[in-house]
A and B are shown apart, each in its own frame.
Chain A
């Protein structure tokens, strides 16, 4: 880890003012300190967000939930309103990392979490995301943990967050503050596909700071679940995960939100699957059918082809488990 100067602003305005080309914001540090130790991120200035407040969770008048950037993963997961109105988010958060890391990690930090691709994490290896134009080591290397959806010829790195998958399903807005004022970015637009520029990971301008994430109002009467599949039972990133939210009228699906983790380059909304499910009977067979749709455009590689089937299984089971709650009267 190279030396840097720590700037500890007391206001969002000062924090934005302190931002520069060679600076980085720090929240809990679970991503940044890790990557600084590895030499992957080497900011000259680190701007500490821990004196900025931004640690409230509040219900807005329109029923949405406004989450401060610095709210920790632990607190968000166990917030009574989140547990009641967004259990899928609570489950997703608690499936991520470990107790200690969740105590440190912040909401904004998790949104900004960077890929776990080992080639990205080693400055000695070519990586288009870390050093544009150097090539992608994973493409012809080991790509078991890599994405099958949303990839490009330049990058197949997976977005690692569980929280973001739940947020993608729930629907959310990322509120950012910059020198030109406040901007609200729809969650699905916040993270960018790698395309020709895998180094661009999000729609955040260089002077902007995430101040809040606002969750859409909960769907009336919805049931949901977050299912995470991985090698060991805990403390591991997803090989495939699914956040599923559905509403039902009798046996018919009236609304569906399906988001995927572990299989895509960004928190992945399976819109084709959602569309196909609405209006259909909530049956295991139907869930399997829509799960196939979600991976229609998947591009598997040497080691990650299994993720297509695993991801389909995650969708079908998550939908089934969610719907089972409805039949058991466990509405969210």
Chain B
């Protein structure tokens, strides 16, 4: 029984994750590079073809509307009913389950994604209103198998426990670090991140990770 161990079906922590970690942890030169890999635009992943969007050749079913979204650099087409929120479309229609549902009411931040670079609560946003928007989810942060500096910093600082709020924390952190209207002090970061609840209470490490990632990113996205 030497079959490849697939975490998605068998559970557990894997070699893949570990190798990823070594690769990225070992890449201490990343920050010094003039054009860091992670600073490339989301279009970098456009070449990747999604496994196939859940859209039929025929017209949308009655009551459904067909919309195009640019998700993590990939053009996606999906039929949505008006009452479908972006969170559920990402998770249930597009298979991007990295974005989490913690309350479904805008009260926890677990569903935070970037829309045209801005952090929003995807649970309160009608999917149909996002025609042609650029949406970045947690799945869209890695570049060429390397974690984004914020993801990397979260790992090194153990800025999570259960991991459930983590996607939202990271997406908010990316937005915070790219928003020059938000101050750089610990207090400013804490305030700006306060819409992302971490019930495990890993807040101290999250703050450390965000501030550390700021240094790594040196102004890059």
Among B105, B120, B190, the one with the most A-chain Cβ atoms within 10 Å of its Cβ is B120
* Bound-state Cα–Cα, A26 to B120, Å: 16
Count of interface residues, chain A, beta-carbon cutoff 8 Å = 31
User: What residues on A are CB-neighbors of B125 within 8 Å?
Assistant: 28-29, 33, 104
Count of interface residues, chain B, beta-carbon cutoff 8 Å = 33
* Bound-state Cα–Cα, A104 to B104, Å: 15
A99 lies within 8 A of B195 (CB): yes
Q: Known interface pairs A6-B126, A37-B104. Does A98 touch B109 (Cβ–Cβ under 8 Å)?
A: yes
A29 lies within 8 A of B124 (CB): yes
B83, B105, B106, B194: the one contacting A234 at CB < 8 Å is B194
* Bound-state Cα–Cα, A234 to B193, Å: 10
B195 lies within 8 A of A97 (CB): yes
Closest CB in chain B relative to A162 CB, distance in Å: 14
B82, B124, B181, B195: the one contacting A235 at CB < 8 Å is B195
Q: Which residue of A lies closest to B121 (CB)?
A: A100
Interface residues of A in 1-33 (CB under 8 A from B): 1-6, 26, 28-30, 33
* Bound-state Cα–Cα, A74 to B176, Å: 13
Closest CB in chain B relative to A48 CB, distance in Å: 6
A34 lies within 8 A of B83 (CB): no
Closest CB in chain A relative to B100 CB, distance in Å: 14
Interface residues of A in 28-62 (CB under 8 A from B): 28-30, 33-34, 36-38, 46, 48, 50
A3, A30, A50: the one contacting B83 at CB < 8 Å is A3
B105, B118, B128, B176: the one contacting A37 at CB < 8 Å is B105
Q: Which residue of B lies closest to A38 (CB)?
A: B105
User: What residues on A are CB-neighbors of B172 within 8 Å?
Assistant: 99-100
7 A-B pairs closest in CB distance = A98-B195, A234-B194, A6-B82, A235-B194, A78-B181, A33-B124, A100-B121
Chain B contacts to A: CB under 8 angstroms: 63, 65, 81-83, 85, 104-106, 109, 112, 118-121, 124-126, 128-129, 172, 175-176, 181-182, 190-197
Chain A contacts to B: CB under 8 angstroms: 1-6, 26, 28-30, 33-34, 36-38, 46, 48, 50, 74, 78, 94, 97-101, 103-104, 233-235
